[in-house]
Structure 1
Amino acid sequence: MVTIKDIARKAKVSTSTVSHVINGTHYVSEGLMNRIIEAMEEENYHPNLIVRGLRSKRTNTVGLILPEISDLFLSELARLIETLLANEGYQMIISNSEDDINKELESVRTLYKKMIDGILILPTTCCKINIEELKEQNIPVIFIDREISYINTDVVKIDNVKGCYKATEYLIGLGHHDICYIGKNLGTSTSIERENGFKKAINDYGLSMRKEFLIKAGGTTYENSRKALADLLNNYKYLPTAVVTEDDKMAIGAIRAINDFKLKIPDDISIIGFDDNMIDEFLVPRLSTVKCPMAGMAETVVKILIDKIKNNNLDNIKKVILEPVLVIRESTGKLVK
């Protein structure tokens, strides 16, 4: 079996230099790199895909970093992106940051070592990725759904403020004035913008907002939102007649709480989510929601990424904001007095 020592001996370099070329962990001059690549090709040491990638400085591989792989919306978005990339001749590596800064940085380092051609990421709140350093290595980075004010890179997102505004406005139009909002309290741009959209609608229509009706669930699980709404229903004498949630996952947890208190949807409490997950159609009642144009988001992200990889125009920063669509189903209804 051929080893790194054999390649180093053939190329007349140190084993550490061979390792740097393979892992992309240190700068190696073009002349030395070519000698090592030729030795690898002659000895059939490295997979052809990687060897061709080293030769052209391309591997046709893209990294996708998600905060929660199990999330229905994100898993479907990942599937769409992967399919579109495959159509362009690229493979995708998925990494889970769990919304943890250190795990996010480690994911970027791992992807860099694999010599990926680009990175797609839903960044953490305090993202510490050195975008400029990656650009110097001709690695484009595109943020999806979230943006960081102090990081100048491409962003593809939905108009979160408008989405939650439209949801709240619709409920107000049905006669609801006591409307509760359930957010995750993660501090991400998405969380902040959606909450701001809710508040703006309440203010624009001259409604007063009880502080108890602005709920911070403190997490992303079904149980977080179930418990948060259950605490309100159990301990507060004034009940909301409608609920807006940061996403559909929060809505499902809230539905459980409403059912546990023997209240009816939408007769007693209307509820509307955000994202339009595939499961929404199968809930009873079917969930009204704000639809994020997932296919359009995936197509836009891939189009921008491929253009940057092929044309190396990393300095032409793009920010694309997609329009949300209100989807009305059976979980919302007119206020019953």
Structure 2
Amino acid sequence: MKRVSIKDVALKVGVSTALVSYVMNGRHTDRINKDTAKKIKKAAKELNYRPSKIAQSLKSNRTNSIALLVADIANPFASQIARIIEDEVSKKGYVVLIGSSDEKAEKLKQLIDLFMNRQVDGFIIAPVQGSEKCIQELIKAKAPLVLIDRYFENMKVPVITTNNYGIAYQATEHLIKRGRKNIGVLAYNTNLLHLNERVNGYKRALQDHGISDNPDNVKYINEIEIQKEVDLALENLFSADDKIDALFFTTNKLAISGLKKIMTMNIKIPEELALLTFDESEAFEIFKTPVTHIKQPLQDIARESVEILTGIIENKNLKYKPRVYNSKLIIKQST
């Protein structure tokens, strides 16, 4: 079927193509006769005219599209923030193209190359371990870019994250004030700073409260076989002579795997074991005891990332500093 063009609309009304273009793009509205403008819009509707996005992008040198690259779209944190960013981007007149790197640096590079070829106007990225080089290449290419949640040291790019160290300290202190003295931690074996800050916050809270930092209580999990490694870590923690009396999961994905195992171990929550985790998840609803968790400010992260990125794209010459939002400890029956 032949695509209806501006020329078709102009011929139907008996005006110039330039005039049709002005009306359809909302330009020079104060100079155009209102009746003529109505006729043009009516003809465009009758002919089912749709503006050419390609032509518009060639004129403006923009595609009005933004790439959002998350680490794992299956993670509730990523899926929730993607939905909010999609809504915020729409308010600004852009569309968002979403990709998931599945925690793989090579896949992130492939996605960046793909969206660069599609000439997106900018990127919002939650980087993965080992992706420093491809992020630096984006910076070198002067592509508008904002990093969310995760970041790398000494990288000159807008970053929006949360108080991982401080809230982990507060969460651990909450467990200590509830009388817990032997607190275990499940964390990823990673060099990502935001995740390691959570472990560091835990360790500092123990130190400040005069509790010995037992390295055997910190179990580092590799991403290859999460459930298998979590099961083994929990078996080790609960078979030790000095059993833990509290457990802190540094991500909700680790918490979900941990809760699956704990439900098979006949451990009373919170009488024998207090539980606390980063982030929330609908999966926690299957656990009979409501889980104390750290709630990250997804709305703030999403809105700020879109505001900063569109500001860069539209050359507003704004100065940006790393933005750190505060997460909140939501206390439930598990602690």
What TM-score do the two structures reach when normalised by structure 2?
0.79
Q: 1:247 to 1:287 in 2, by over 3 A?
A: same
Q: Which residue of 2 aligns with 1:96?
A: 100
> Is 1:329 matched with 2:332?
yes
Q: How does 1:1-337 map to 2 (within 5 A)?
A: 48-129=52-133, 134=138, 139-219=143-223, 223=227, 226-233=230-237, 235-280=239-284, 283-311=287-315, 313=317, 316-332=319-335
Aligned residues of 1:131 and 1:153 also touching (Cα < 8 A): no
RMSD of aligned residue pairs (Cα, Å): 2.4
Deviating beyond 6 angstroms after TM superposition, the runs of 4 or more aligned structure 1 residues are none
Q: Give distance in 1, aligned partners of 2:211 and 2:198.
A: 18
What is the DSSP-based 3-state SS (H/G/I as helix, E as strand, rest coil) of the residue aligned with 1:268? Answer: coil
Aligned residues of 1:217 and 1:224 also touching (Cα < 8 A): no
The amino acid across from 1:86 in the alignment is: S
Q: Give distance in 2, aligned partners of 1:295 and 1:309.
A: 21
What is the DSSP-based 3-state SS (H/G/I as helix, E as strand, rest coil) of the residue aligned with 2:278? Answer: coil
The amino acid across from 2:88 in the alignment is: L
What is the DSSP-based 3-state SS (H/G/I as helix, E as strand, rest coil) of the residue aligned with 1:308? Answer: helix
The amino acid across from 2:171 in the alignment is: A
Q: Give distance in 1, aligned partners of 2:196 and 2:115.
A: 29
Cα deviations by residue, 1:201-232 (Å, 9 ceiling, x for unpaired): 11111101222101102228761564144332
Q: Which residue of 2 aligns with 1:335?
A: none
Aligned residues of 1:131 and 1:151 also touching (Cα < 8 A): no
Cα deviations by residue, 1:255-309 (Å, 9 ceiling, x for unpaired): 2222222111111100000122344455321110111011111111111111111
Cα deviations by residue, 1:96-143 (Å, 9 ceiling, x for unpaired): 112222211111111111110110111122224555764576521111
Aligned residues of 1:291 and 1:326 also touching (Cα < 8 A): yes
Q: Which runs of 5+ in 2 are unaligned?
A: 3-50
Q: Give distance in 1, aligned partners of 2:234 and 2:212.
A: 22
Cα deviations by residue, 1:167-201 (Å, 9 ceiling, x for unpaired): 10000000101000110112211211111111111
Aligned residues of 1:241 and 1:269 also touching (Cα < 8 A): yes
Q: 1:224 to 1:80 in 2, by over 3 A?
A: farther
The amino acid across from 2:258 in the alignment is: A
What is the DSSP-based 3-state SS (H/G/I as helix, E as strand, rest coil) of the residue aligned with 1:311? Answer: coil
Q: Which residue of 2 aligns with 1:22?
A: none
Q: Which runs of 5+ in 1 are unaligned?
A: 3-46, 333-337
Q: Which moved more, 1:264-273 or 1:203-212?
A: 203-212
Q: Give distance in 2, aligned partners of 1:105 and 1:327.
A: 36
Aligned residues of 2:132 and 2:152 also touching (Cα < 8 A): no
What is the DSSP-based 3-state SS (H/G/I as helix, E as strand, rest coil) of the residue aligned with 2:263? Answer: helix
Q: 1:88 to 1:283 in 2, by over 3 A?
A: farther
Q: Give distance in 2, aligned partners of 1:233 and 1:128.
A: 34
Q: Give distance in 2, aligned partners of 1:86 and 1:234.
A: 49
What is the DSSP-based 3-state SS (H/G/I as helix, E as strand, rest coil) of the residue aligned with 2:317? Answer: coil
